[in-house]
């Protein structure tokens, strides 16, 4: 079965094999060397400028755990931009941690604009209650919306003390990130989306000012403490027993991406930042092909097209029976995703992310052509 759901996504056999090697002790030199291999390419994934003072690290848990961890390191006043299910999760976690959470809510399928965010930040400043942090999700996997970060960064300039915490779960390695230029303070992601690894660990990046601020806060968790995790990583140690197998898979995948190993023939020979850019361009072409298929069949993307994610296309189902479409495709060896939560049955989602190829997508779209007429809802 070819897996096209919006994560976990297809994992290359070389990566699966990487996890079958003999175990090493997690306090060994071999483990320190393994951690050492991860940082240089991980810094490229977060788009860190050379000489950036930000720090990257790995956490032994899924992404949601580090949403909690990231919030532990900021002050009480949090503004959560909510435009889907995962951005809502930031707000829910903030409330559970007894933060003073304000929600800037948008209908599913939309994204915050610079003006709207600026207005919320300025109103808080005028009341002399500036926000300590803004949370948002860059690629809302539930709706296929990619929130552009440049306007968000501009809005944050009106409230310089406010930190920006972003979930880049289904954005990283599929869409360019510019951690420094976009003024990010904390970014986190699971690895089972466009990094194309099995689930289980989280990558993160924290700015110096986030870390400086977090060190002054009361430590409220042992396992999820961002300082313990990040300082441990910097010392090439892990606070608790790590998922050694996934560290190996991560190191190999990041190195392969950086060496251009995963690129299509047209981009062979590209390495370093150029290889990462070519990976992003491949994702943009996968989005374009998917949306062109939808347009040919009279179907619209759920988000307005400029907001359509390069990693997950969420398509309005129109006259299609989504459950029947999913079943028919499974019979042809492809698995796509239903709409998420309240969009179930109204949309379907294709995760064209990670190491999926243009040839592979063409085969999926061909299969979708073949079943299309049989899954229309009859009047
Ligand atoms: C954008 C986004 N954020 C957060 C999560 C939660 O990740 P996890 O379930 O791995 O904790 C997901 C999961 O799909 C996601 O898509």
Q: What are 307-330's pLDDT values in tens digits?
A: 999 999 999 999 999 999 999 999
Assess whether 215 and 307 both reside in one domain.
Answer: no
Q: Of 256, 279, 313, which residue is a domain's last?
A: 256
Tell me which DSSP letter residue 22 carries: P
Domain residues for the domain of 298 are 2-6+269-374
For ligand 1, say whether the CB of 166 is within 6 Å of any of its atoms: no
Count of other CB atoms within 10 angstroms of residue 44? 19
For ligand 1, say whether the CB of 137 is within 6 Å of any of its atoms: yes
pTM check: above 0.85: yes
User: CATH code at 302?
Assistant: 3.90.1150.10
For ligand 1, say whether the CB of 62 is within 6 Å of any of its atoms: yes
Task: Determine, yes or no, domain membership for 60.
Answer: yes
Task: Determine, yes or no, domain membership for 97.
Answer: yes
CA of 65 to the centre of ligand 1 (A): 10
Assess whether 36 and 143 both reside in one domain.
Answer: yes
Assess whether 69 and 171 both reside in one domain.
Answer: yes
Assess whether 136 and 205 both reside in one domain.
Answer: yes
Is the distance from CB of 167 to CB of 67 less than 8 angstroms?
A: yes
pLDDT at 379: 55
Assess whether 291 and 342 both reside in one domain.
Answer: yes
User: CATH code at 134?
Assistant: 3.40.640.10
The three-state secondary structure class of 124 is helix
CA of 120 to the centre of ligand 1 (A): 26
Distance CA(58)–CA(49), nearest Å, equals 19
CA of 367 to the centre of ligand 1 (A): 28
- Which residues does 273 contact at the CB level (< 8 Å), separation at least 6? 44
Distance CA(61)–CA(188), nearest Å, equals 11
CA of 194 to the centre of ligand 1 (A): 12
For ligand 1, say whether the CB of 190 is within 6 Å of any of its atoms: yes
State the number of CA atoms in the 13 A half-sphere of 59 facing the CB: 28
Distance CA(210)–CA(208), nearest Å, equals 5
Chain Cα centroid distance, residue 6: 11
Q: Which residue ranges of the chain lie beneath pLDDT 50? A: none
For residue 52, give Cα distances in angstroms to 64, 181, 184, 190, 258.
26, 10, 12, 23, 19
Number of domains within the chain:
2
> Pocket of ligand 1, candidates 6, 60, 63: which has the most ligand atoms within 8 Å of its Cβ, to mutate?
63
Q: Of 256, 281, 296, which residue is a domain's last?
A: 256
- Which residues does 81 contact at the CB level (< 8 Å), separation at least 6? 87, 104, 106, 112, 117, 134, 135, 136, 137, 147
Assess whether 191 and 334 both reside in one domain.
Answer: no
Task: Determine, yes or no, domain membership for 263.
Answer: no
> Pocket of ligand 1, candidates 86, 93, 202, 353: which has the most ligand atoms within 8 Å of its Cβ, to mutate?
86
Assess whether 252 and 109 both reside in one domain.
Answer: yes
Task: Determine, yes or no, domain membership for 129.
Answer: yes
> Pick from 343, 286, 345: which is nearest to 320 by CA?
345
pLDDT at 339: 98
For ligand 1, say whether the CB of 170 is within 6 Å of any of its atoms: yes
Task: Determine, yes or no, domain membership for 140.
Answer: yes
CA of 256 to the centre of ligand 1 (A): 24
Q: Which atom of ligand 1 is nearest to the CA of 65?
A: 11
DSSP 328-371: HHHHTTEE-EEPPGGGBTTEEEEE--TT--HHHHHHHHHHHHHH
Task: Determine, yes or no, domain membership for 261.
Answer: no
CA of 363 to the centre of ligand 1 (A): 27
Q: What are 217-232's pLDDT values in tens digits?
A: 999 999 999 999 999 9
Assess whether 78 and 195 both reside in one domain.
Answer: yes
Compute, in degrees rounded to 10, the torsion defined by CA atoms 155, 158, 163, 167: -10
């Amino acid at each position: 079965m070819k897996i096209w759901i919006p994560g976990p996504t297809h994992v290359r056999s070389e990566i699966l094999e990487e996890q079958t090697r003999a175990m090493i002790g997690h306090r060994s030199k071999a483990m320190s060397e393994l951690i050492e291999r991860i940082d240089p390419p991980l810094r490229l994934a977060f788009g860190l400028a050379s000489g950036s003072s930000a720090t990257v690290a790995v956490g032994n848990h899924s992404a949601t755990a580090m949403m909690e961890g990231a919030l532990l390191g900021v002050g009480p006043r949090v503004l959560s931009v909510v435009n889907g299910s995962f951005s809502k999760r930031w707000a829910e976690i903030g409330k559970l941690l007894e933060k003073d959470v304000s929600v800037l809510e948008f209908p599913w399928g939309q994204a915050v604009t610079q003006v709207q965010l600026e207005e919320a930040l300025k109103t808080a400043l005028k009341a002399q209650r500036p926000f300590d942090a803004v949370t948002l999700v860059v690629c809302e996997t539930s709706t296929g919306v990619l929130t552009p970060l440049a306007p968000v960064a501009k809005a944050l300039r009106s409230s310089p003390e406010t930190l920006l915490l972003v979930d880049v779960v289904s954005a990283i390695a599929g869409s360019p990130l510019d951690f420094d230029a976009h003024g990010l303070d904390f970014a986190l992601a699971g690895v089972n989306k466009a990094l194309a690894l099995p689930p289980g660990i989280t990558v993160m990046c924290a700015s110096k000012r986030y870390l400086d601020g977090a060190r002054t806060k009361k430590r409220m968790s042992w396992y999820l403490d961002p300082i313990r995790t990040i300082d441990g990583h910097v010392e090439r140690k892990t606070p608790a027993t790590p998922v050694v197998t996934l560290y190996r898979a991560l190191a190999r995948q990041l190195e392969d991406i950086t060496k251009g190993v995963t690129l299509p023939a047209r981009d062979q020979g590209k390495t370093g930042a150029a290889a990462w850019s070519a990976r992003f361009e491949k994702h943009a072409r996968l989005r374009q092909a998917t949306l062109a298929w939808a347009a040919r069949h009279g179907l619209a993307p759920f988000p307005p097209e400029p907001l359509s994610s390069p990693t997950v296309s969420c398509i309005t189902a129109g006259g299609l029976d989504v459950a029947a479409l999913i079943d028919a495709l499974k019979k042809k060896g492809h698995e796509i995703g239903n709409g998420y939560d309240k969009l179930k049955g109204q949309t379907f989602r294709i995760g064209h992310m990670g190491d999926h190829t243009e040839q592979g997508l063409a085969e999926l779209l061909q299969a979708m052509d073949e079943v299309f007429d049989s899954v229309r809802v009859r009047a």
